[in-house]
Structure 1
Amino acid sequence: MTYPMNLAQGNCRIHTVFEHWTAQHAGKVALSDVERIISYGELGAAVDATVERLKQAGVRAGDRVLLVAENSVALAVCIFAISRLDAWSATVNARLSTREIDNFLSHSGARRALYFSAVSPEAAAHGKQHGAETVDWPYIGALMLGPLNDTAVPEPVEADGTKQVAAMVYTSGTTGAPKAVMLTHANLLFIGANGCRMRKIVPEDVVYGVLPLSHVYGLSALLIAALLGGAALHLVSRYQPSALAQALEHDGITVMHGAPAMYAKLLEWSQSNGVPLRAPALRVAQSGGAPLTLPLKQAFESTFGLILQNGYGMTEASPSICQTRMESPRQDCSVGQPIPGIEIRIHGAEESGEGVGELWVRGPNVMKGYYRAPELTAETITPEGWLRTGDLARLEADGTVSIVGRSKELIIRSGFNVYPIEVEQVLNAFPDVVQSAVVGRTVEGNEEVVAFVERAQGADIDLQALSVHLKANLSPYKIPTEIVVMDQLPAAATGKILKKELQQMAQRAESGSGNT
């Protein structure tokens, strides 16, 4: 595929991704949401107008701008406008707590915060609490502008796009302190170009944009990839299975990216409501952001008659590291081969005896580092430029990668290694289990395996039958000591299960309660 911009030029910025299409497809939809539509011909003017408003608000090159938001056209335009100013955008999900928003404001040293109140009541509440005033900006409408931070100190500006930070992404880490990943323009453009190429994005495509732009998956593989390919990106503020089903059937959606939980909930909604799923235009369905299980992959593919592609990445890699190839459909849940242009290494595989080791990656996708955390950056990126992912993986004979689990999530039970993803695969194959999460619980001299199971709407899980199913498919030491059935597992806006919360719940639980 030939790209409409020279991504090899070091001075490229993310706000230039759509410029090729401005004249060529001026009347074609670039961005849309429930409130507004902006064409490729209008997008440049919308970004220019927003740049002027940000300048009037005191935003300078090198400043950080916190965007408290959910997906919208206004958010996308502001991200590009901030790029034009050589400032840094830091988008955070409006549904986070007041404490978290306060931490991000403090940690980032943001010059201004923008609260996207038109699409998010939570953003409006945060804005009101922080003394923001409502403004109405051309092309993007009403939002709330937070107070000017007179103490903000601009960061140095680099002409080289491989060094200049475009965005900070706050990770869903397990510690209380904010951890902000600094991603350069070159990082995001490299992954955007990869997504455009690997999924063959063209101007005729309509991309469903429900993955949050506050997450790097949504920022690079959705927003940048879609506009680089000249496609129409329909931005959706919140995931609803019914809305997705409607869009797939009636809105000409050709490309869908989602976390496994989103696909699982779509299928469960269809079954519970007796509504068949149709997607006449869909040609690409991509899973990412969390492990894909075989029962879900098979259920999706039998429903839609379309391969569910898989991938693996992390925020610190912008995020893509591995992806399955469309020309080589897979029947398993491998995450595919490394994407073109990067290197991987399975560190410690030889010593493990299982071919399993920590996955390391090096290439143009690797972050600049963690903001204001040089020691943490040095722990994560080796002097030779290798990013230590913390994920356990195995390199298969055909060159594909299988992710075994997080090194920090590995459960050692009676001296045996238990990889949660293996247990989750078996749990998810049981009837009426939408999804599951397995964590370790420390007990005296050992670790126990604890499983949390989300049941289908209106269903009851037969724990005795589930126990028989587990015993038939797992070694005794892998069988959970306790299974907790829930109506819904705690999850981030991306659909990623919040295992830290579940681990804390498991540790607090009384021994023996809910055991199978």
Structure 2
Amino acid sequence: MTRIHELADGAAPEATAIVDHDGAVYSYAALNDMVTQMAETLAALGLRAGDRLMILSENCATYVTALLAASRLGAWALPVNARQSEDEIAAIRAHAGVRAVVFTPEASAPSRAHAEALGATSRGRLACGDILVAGPFDEAGTAPEPTPADPAEQVAALIYTTGTTSAPKGVMLTHSNLVWNARVSAELRRITADDIVVGVLPGTHIFGFASVILATLAAGSTLRLLPRFSAEAVLDVFADGGSVMPAVPQMYQAILAELARRGTPPDAPRLRYISSGGAPLDPEWKERIEATFGIPLQNGYGLTETSPGVSGTRLDNPRQDTSVGEILEDVECLIDAPDENGVGELLIRGPNVMKGYFRNPEATAQAIRPDGYFRSGDLARIDPDGTLWIMGRKKELIIRSGFNIYPPEIEAMLTRHPDVHQTAVVGRPVPGNEEILAFVTAKPGVTEDDLKAFLHEHLVGYKVPQHILIIDRFPVAATGKILKHKLTDAFAPLLAERDAAAC
């Protein structure tokens, strides 16, 4: 098993591989037939080994089929969330030199709209839906890339980062990267053929792509695909036998809110594993989620550039804290330039580290040291027992009056207030210093003064934000991750009012 399309080879042909967005059921044999048909269609269209195949999609069987078909042909899968704008998609297409684009119109209205805009035509029909393709394109930059025989060198997927702290970059992940992560993710969750894995994380994001879809196929289990998150839909899947759900913290918050609205406990007879990743986990929410479902909420850490797995908590050693667990097998981690508390930038080396950034050798050289360690950009510490703690983004470190301030600490305390739903803390330069800004969604009636008074009771004074802005909603990525870098621009008028009032 060296290529991602081979991950499912060990599954029983008659076993259920996918329950699609519309409830249709496909066995592993049926999935294999669809992949064969898709690969033959794309090859006839002119897709070559080393070409970039954009898959503009939301979660569905056609998406999984296209991923595996690209692998069979030696092409690079380039998954893109169909909810991105035309301008965002055009920028990725131009940078990547896309040869063709596959769409998933049955599962995604935005994908259908993009298909119309790009002049896509039907090239046939799979059991799960239309083979709707735009291309082939022969524009500048669309020539195929070399295809080394070594799976550690051959690119399987090109994934563009969401740019939560910087401009998006194309991350080249090899077959070896992704096969390793699929195997380790399945083992970490102890997924078996009897499991139904809830595929609600966007499959176009590294978490959903590698740690959900590929891991499920590697285990020969069933993937229950939901094109978009809704608490109601997830609870229905739980009631129908869903047993494993990796998700992000914001999804669990919405599920708890829906259960509170219903006034009933969850109906989840087979649910045995829930985990959080992709964003910091708040201790208060962890306690609530575990109390609701009666099982530990596992936690983990990863990055697009690390395929994504770096660490995870263990089923046989559940933790009461919000550490991101133990470092995964074959992965090495170091703390660069630790301070007096052992906090420094996390460096990562192992079979998970990307090949590099596509068409950006300068960024690759900055990110990967000559000794193979990847600079994560995250501040972390490692306990003597090997437990990994993520303190925040290096770029997000706030230095206030000479003190180092880690936003997750303030965020965790704010969400302990009973009236606070979500929060994000960022720094803002001011003459001669840096100030702390907190953005909060909360129940009606709570005030900034209430929240500041609460923080003064629990934190040292220099960690209390200069401004706490109560807002209606956060700018978020498709995964639900808060886009912190957009906060000050998105709420610039509100900040200007505060600044004027302070003068």
- TM-score of the aligned structures, taking structure 2 as reference length: 0.96
Q: Secondary structure at the match of 1:422?
A: helix
Which ranges in structure 1 are unaligned for 5 or more consecutive residues? Answer: 6-11
Q: Which of 257, 280, 283 is 1:291 aligned to?
A: 280
1:74 aligns with 2:62: yes
Write out per-residue CA displacement over residues 369-417 of structure 1, whole angstroms, 9 at most, x where no aligned residue.
0000001000000011000000000111321011100000011111111
1:405 aligns with 2:388: no
Which ranges in structure 2 are unaligned for 5 or more consecutive residues? Answer: none
Distance 1:505 1:121 in 2: 27
2:157 corresponds to which residue? 167
1:495 aligns with 2:483: no
Distance 2:370 2:32 in 1: 40
1:301 corresponds to which residue? 290
How many residues of Structure 1 are paired with residues of Structure 2 in the alignment?
498
Q: Secondary structure at the match of 2:482?
A: coil
2:380 corresponds to which residue? 393
Query: Counterparts of 1:251-330 in structure 2 under 5 Å?
Result: 251-330=240-319
The question of whether the paired residues in 2 share the 8 Å contact of 1:182 and 1:368 is answered with yes
1:202 aligns with 2:192: yes
- TM-score of the aligned structures, taking structure 1 as reference length: 0.93
Query: Counterparts of 1:77-476 in structure 2 under 5 Å?
Result: 77-151=65-139, 152-173=142-163, 177-248=167-238, 250-349=239-338, 352-455=339-442, 459-476=444-461
The question of whether the paired residues in 2 share the 8 Å contact of 1:482 and 1:513 is answered with no
- 1:353: how far off? 1.3
1:483 aligns with 2:468: yes
The code of the aligned residue for 1:194 comes to: V
**In angstroms, what is the RMSD of aligned CA positions?**
1.7
Distance 2:432 2:274 in 1: 45
Distance 2:445 2:285 in 1: 19
Distance 1:389 1:306 in 2: 31
Structure 1's 113 and 493: CA in aligned 2 closer, same or farther, altered over 3 A? Answer: same
Q: Secondary structure at the match of 1:201?
A: coil
The question of whether the paired residues in 1 share the 8 Å contact of 2:41 and 2:123 is answered with no
1:55 corresponds to which residue? 43
Write out per-residue CA displacement over residues 57-76 of structure 1, whole angstroms, 9 at most, x where no aligned residue.
21011100111111111000
Distance 1:172 1:215 in 2: 9
- 1:147: how far off? 2.6
Distance 2:452 2:168 in 1: 40
The question of whether the paired residues in 1 share the 8 Å contact of 2:448 and 2:470 is answered with no
Distance 2:15 2:90 in 1: 39
Write out per-residue CA displacement over residues 57-115 of structure 1, whole angstroms, 9 at most, x where no aligned residue.
21011100111111111000110000000000100111111110000110110110112
4+ aligned runs moved over 4 Å, structure 1 = 174-177, 513-516
The code of the aligned residue for 2:223 comes to: L
The code of the aligned residue for 1:340 comes to: E
- 1:27: how far off? 2.1
Distance 2:41 2:500 in 1: 57
Distance 2:446 2:13 in 1: 54
Q: Secondary structure at the match of 1:285?
A: strand
Distance 1:109 1:29 in 2: 36
Write out per-residue CA displacement over residues 305-334 of structure 1, whole angstroms, 9 at most, x where no aligned residue.
110000011000000111011111110000
- 1:506: how far off? 5.4
Q: Secondary structure at the match of 1:280?
A: coil
The question of whether the paired residues in 2 share the 8 Å contact of 1:347 and 1:358 is answered with yes
Q: Secondary structure at the match of 1:126?
A: helix
Distance 1:49 1:329 in 2: 44
1:512 aligns with 2:498: yes
- 1:481: how far off? 1.2
The question of whether the paired residues in 2 share the 8 Å contact of 1:317 and 1:367 is answered with yes
- 1:482: how far off? 1.2
1:65 aligns with 2:83: no
1:27 corresponds to which residue? 14
The question of whether the paired residues in 2 share the 8 Å contact of 1:483 and 1:515 is answered with no
The code of the aligned residue for 1:501 comes to: K
Structure 1's 224 and 285: CA in aligned 2 closer, same or farther, altered over 3 A? Answer: same
Structure 1's 515 and 469: CA in aligned 2 closer, same or farther, altered over 3 A? Answer: farther
Please, which moves more after superposition, 257-266 or 167-176?
167-176
The code of the aligned residue for 2:210 comes to: S
The code of the aligned residue for 1:265 comes to: A
The question of whether the paired residues in 1 share the 8 Å contact of 2:159 and 2:171 is answered with yes
Write out per-residue CA displacement over residues 270-290 of structure 1, whole angstroms, 9 at most, x where no aligned residue.
224434323221111010001
Identity in percent: 43
